Chain A
């Protein structure tokens, strides 16, 4: 090993820039421009991985993103490690490390390799059939199956890289920068279309830049020479943006495409830092030109998976583009002329080509004649029946094919070789095309699926559109460009093309062997180890749909999505079942075309940007005073303010007592606030709330309950009449946006005749809620000239006032049952207001309290929290809030539903209070409530919705919803817990100050 197989300098490889990298712990050298695959091949390393099921040694098969075998772990054991990366796509850099996957202890000696010898026992559906019984053993089976499966390791520490998203709008998006893509982009841009050209490779030109077949000429130059000049010209074209290392992952409806732009993966570690690693491009294109090319097909024959067996086109690319010989004794196996081009490429560089095995009877093309002249032995009408070599191919056996191609005859010839190039024809890369929703049709003559019915403004050009020969490509591209861009001339009009004429092909999906199928291993899906006999077995067992066969055999279900073998799977199914391939259809091509990293998908939405959050204008004070926070919707709300190492329970008990005994203050800025104006504002409120609003006097406040049309409680809050046609509505913190949306919906769609204007002003105001028996004295200190007497400023009323120069709106409303004021100021004055209250309240030991204390205090009063004590299935009647439902109003949202037979049932779940017999036991919220302990199964009557230890009552209190609860006052029930049953008694949900005397205290 470690031979140097570098054959000739290539302009794409910088031999002055030598790079060392490690593979499986061993150091190798390559050059700038190499991929991991080309550098390994240059070092004569073919064995790079083990297959998934049988752990068979596998080598590099391709030179692109379709690679099924050479998938590696990049930079193992670092925070930049990435599994399932195709070695054919990794550009090497100094310090790169990579290792094989799916092998233990090493790729050279892999214990799982025993599966290969046990393979007769692992047919398709093996797992489904074997691990079925006894059913209870599944957990044990699963442990071992999970351990033996799995490709690669995910990183265990956080990703150090930055990812980004970018939106792009363009007139024309060209996907793929081979000859067709380049010509399409050039002509689109020249005709003033804003054009974006993307290609997954680091260099433009696709396969044409190393296409040196002397019999195919464009304007009297070889196609590679000619195209390089065209590429040179692209630089000077306006309106054209070019992105290399950019792979289109998904093509959605309405020409919306996602592409991954790779920016730093090819750089050394020191150059990666503080740069964007990958960028997700979200592209909306008016027109899409797909120029995604074609993938070479392998041939399906016995033991066609050994390291050293590669696609013929890959061998050509390694030789021409990377200057690497993949072997020193090369043989090709083909059904068309492509392999001859690869053979000539090697021959011209002085690399030994021993033979070409061709399943056709003959070919008259110039390139074939050239090969004959070169003295390379051609075996016509022959097929490979077996190969040998465990970790590297060392020989093939061939036999004569029968005329019908279903069997082999004559004597076996053995040819020793270390590299075999297979050429099974070309499959248009229609993956993106079908993702867009467009439909394919099968061309029976060419044996390929071709674009047929486009669903959006798009065209497929070049080989992905079914044109393989350069003259057809240019002619059809020219016409399609004129049609789709609506232009009269292109610079393709003047191109002169000469081509080699012969284009014969003989298609046999599964090549015969001298052994029966059952004794052979013709792999169809290399990554998932699905063979032709697995597919036939699936058909014998009754599977017919291609989608079912795929899932049963796992054909096409690997990380490569079966880019190489899917067509053969379809062909074998069609031949075996005796149906036409066109009738069989294809499996669905799902995005992404090549895997995306999670980082790319997530972009900048990580860390503190993972989910946006909102802070109140008073937030800094809470932080300075060591509040603990909780998330309420997107808001960060002060939860409680522990002092001297208090637990949450201790802090909440202290805060709750202080609020009732002297004074407390709460940041209520997060409540939703909607400004409602217009001559029909009162009528509008009448329709959206359950109670009546017309008679509410200016300067008064009213609590309202809002239902859904199904009669269930949706939101609640206090609304204040500021003027004749002007109200300010408050909503729950979490419900603000939805309530506004719902109100707008009714106004725009059901009641457009109403003169009402809605404005969200949630963020415009900061709100401090001052509560407790001393709240009045504190407010008096802040606003001495405001008359706070009950006559002038009674409960449920509103005043405008000034604190210094700051204008404020004060509502005397209460969510705690205490005498309290909600003071609203312009948001920017929020912290100032808060600090003034704290200062004025100092002599009363004013206590800031958080949401937890607020919840406790309102629970003592039996006030509901929508979303905690309700869950979208509670009517106001269920909540024992009949008092708020107007009987007089003709209609309001949800009214009719309150009289449906179902909502009028007596045995609905209804809100009640619960008291534990032992006052020290606090129930768990969510725990279940039953009346019988010895029933089996026990009937669940309801659950606990709110539960606290009340310091003011010195006992545990709870709210609960209980079936038929209204009629159960005083009834004994049980809350069964894991280790004990808790005895409870149904009680009035108002636990504290039932007569509301404290509101005016």
Chain B
């Protein structure tokens, strides 16, 4: 059970949060211009890394804000947490 440092509320138990998959996948601004393959790349293709992974999380049972997390999936260590729109920390 992680202890997650919500950038708006502080440290809270994992059960207050919802994981939202890979981060930094921007919705295409002009979807109609894309080929089926390009759209599928956005729609379906997600990484599943053993190691450092960038993820979206939502404080669903708290402030309901979305934010980003850098997590090492091999040992679940949370390396960094930053707000939506902010640049990911340098590796």
Contacts and interface: CB of A to CB of B under 8 A. Distances in A.
Interface in A245-302: 252-256, 284
B31 to A, nearest CB: 4
B3 interface: yes
Nearest to B65: A748
25 contacts: A253-B1, A253-B2, A253-B76, A254-B1, A254-B3, A255-B3, A284-B3, A741-B58, A744-B64, A745-B58, A748-B65, A748-B84, A749-B66, A749-B84, A750-B26, A750-B27, A891-B30, A891-B32, A895-B32, A896-B31, A897-B43, A899-B32, A900-B36, A900-B39, A900-B40
A753 to B, nearest CB: 11
Contacts of A709: 27, 43
A119 interface: no
Contact of A752 (B13, B20, B28, B85): B85
A901 B36 CA distance: 8
Interface in B26-77: 26-28, 30-32, 34, 36, 39-40, 43, 56, 58, 60, 64-66, 75-77
A256 B3 contact: yes
Interface in A890-910: 890-891, 895-897, 899-901
A792 interface: no
A745 B66 contact: yes
A102 B50 CA distance: 45
Contacts, number: 56
Interface of A: 252-256, 284, 437, 455, 709-710, 741, 744-745, 748-750, 752, 890-891, 895-897, 899-901
A741 B43 CA distance: 19
Category for how many chain B residues contact A: 20 to 34
Contact of B39 (A253, A741, A897): A897
A900 B30 CA distance: 15
Contacts of A896: 28, 31-32, 34, 39
A901 B56 CA distance: 30
A710 B56 CA distance: 19
Given A745-B20, A896-B39, A900-B36, A256 B1 contact: yes
A437 B43 contact: no
B84 A752 contact: yes
Contacts of B26: 750
A517 to B, nearest CB: 41
Contacts of A749: 56, 66, 84
Contacts of A710: 43
Contacts of A897: 39, 43
Nearest to A895: B31
A750 to B, nearest CB: 5
A901 B39 CA distance: 12
B8 to A, nearest CB: 11
Nearest to B66: A748
Given A744-B66, A749-B66, A891-B30, 10 more contacts: A253-B1, A254-B2, A437-B75, A745-B20, A745-B66, A748-B65, A752-B84, A895-B32, A896-B32, A897-B43
A969 to B, nearest CB: 30
A750 B39 CA distance: 16
The 7 closest A-B pairs by CB, nearest first: A896-B31, A254-B3, A256-B1, A748-B66, A750-B27, A896-B39, A252-B1
In this complex, which of A749, A891, A895 has the most chain B Cβ atoms within 10 angstroms of its Cβ? A749
Nearest to A747: B66
A748 B59 CA distance: 12
A395 B91 CA distance: 68
Contacts of B58: 741, 745
Given A284-B3, A748-B66, A891 B84 contact: no
A895 B56 CA distance: 24
B1 to A, nearest CB: 4
Contacts of B20: 745
Contacts of B75: 437, 455
Contacts of A256: 1, 3, 13
Contacts of A455: 75, 77
A690 to B, nearest CB: 14
A899 B58 CA distance: 31
Nearest to A750: B27
A890 B1 contact: no
B61 to A, nearest CB: 11
Nearest to A255: B3
Contact of B13 (A284, A745, A895): A284
Contacts of B84: 748-749, 752
Contacts of A748: 65-66, 84
Contacts of A744: 64, 66
A650 B58 CA distance: 47
A284 B12 CA distance: 10
Contacts of B1: 252-254, 256
